[in-house]
Chain A
């Protein structure tokens, strides 16, 4: 059974850093296109970052230079390293596995809440 479990969210002060984790089971993260999607409170879904099977990474403009997506094959885990956090980054962060490079987010984790506030 495919399962994704996020962790690492919490309350962080503006300007701070945080690392989110997404532990996968039932499939191999390094063989799958993986995406981070966030949802601000009461708002819609926004794709934040994707890592391709070959290791190519992409970021939406609002997080370029601040967020880094990575994966650990030995742990079968996806990460999102976030720095210079601002109030606009407050959201539930989901990891998702793609059906293909063209999208179709097939499996989702339960999400982890990141709150940026002083």
Chain B
């Protein structure tokens, strides 16, 4: 089971938007609407920010949004703020036949 592919880095100025892609396969991202996204600051545990492609847990600002097209999911952070600088990981359900979860390779988002 291969990791989902994310760009190593992305950046934007405060107030701008940045989009992070997450490319999988027809057996994971393409097959299910169960893509989630996590934000991880250095030395901290990951935090769930998007689940089921586009749903936000309580307390997550609506500046974070998710979408999916085919085998690629995307996370958009609008109105970038300094505290959004972090690593972002996607994850997808991959079915019950094999190990059910796969993570992306991770993207470092830098606020310029």
- The residues of A with any CB-CB pair to B shorter than 8 Å are 35, 37, 44-47, 50, 58-61, 94, 99, 101-106, 108-111
Contacts and interface: CB of A to CB of B under 8 A. Distances in A.
Contacts of A102: 32, 34, 52, 93, 100
A103 B89 contact: no
Contacts of A103: 34, 36, 51, 91-93, 100-101
Contacts of B34: 102-104
Interface stretch (B15-23, B41-49, B73-81): B41-49
Contacts of A111: 45
Nearest to A95: B45
A5 B40 CA distance: 18
Contact of A105 (B3, B32, B91, B106): B91
B102 interface: yes
